[in-house]
Amino acid sequence: MITGVSIVTVWVLDQDSAKEFYTKKLGFDLTNDIQLDGGMRWLTVRSPGSGGQDFLLMEPGHSMLDSDTGAQVRALVAKGALSPGVMATTDCRADYDALVERGVESSSRPPSGRTVSRQSCAMTQGTGSASPSGAPPPPGDPPSAGCRAGRTLRISRLQVPGAAGQQD
């Protein structure tokens, strides 16, 4: 019987940079870093408290893909067409503040001063800004088209308005 998803592939352009970002900036645990035959590297990280679900940080050119498909996936990652998804958090604002303090760039901020059904903010890996001007857009603006997938992490927390013990 299938009980869940244990590994999710996150396509990255550089595994060393991705490893640094996920472990040092986001605080994920390194679960595997194994060099395999043929140049493939099995690099997995896990969010604390994730219950065993790993992210496989994989370079398309050194993967199970043939060279043509690897080049196509790499182009999509570089273009910003692939994204690792949405991370869950118990406190979006506190995590946002902690990530910004660790040097993670932000293209949006979580909303403040109101109850919302979903809190969300976009965080960006690397040194390039997610907004073309080099500065984050004003609060509430969507991430710019300049975001690089595989480099943008949307952190989100669902909230039931009015639920006891929940902060907006």
**Each residue of 118-164: pLDDT tens digit?**
555 666 554 322 222 233 333 443 333 333 333 445 655 444 443 34
Sequence letter at residue 115: T
Residues 25, 104: contact at Cβ < 8 Å? Answer: yes
Those residues whose C-beta lies under 8 Å from the C-beta of residue 76, and which sit 6 or more positions away, are: 11, 82, 149
Those residues whose C-beta lies under 8 Å from the C-beta of residue 50, and which sit 6 or more positions away, are: none
Fold of 7-79: 2,3-Dihydroxybiphenyl 1,2-Dioxygenase; domain 1 (3.10.180)
Whole-model pTM? 0.69
Domain ranges of the chain: 7-79, 86-158
Q: Within 10 Å of residue 75's Cβ, how many Cβ atoms? A: 11
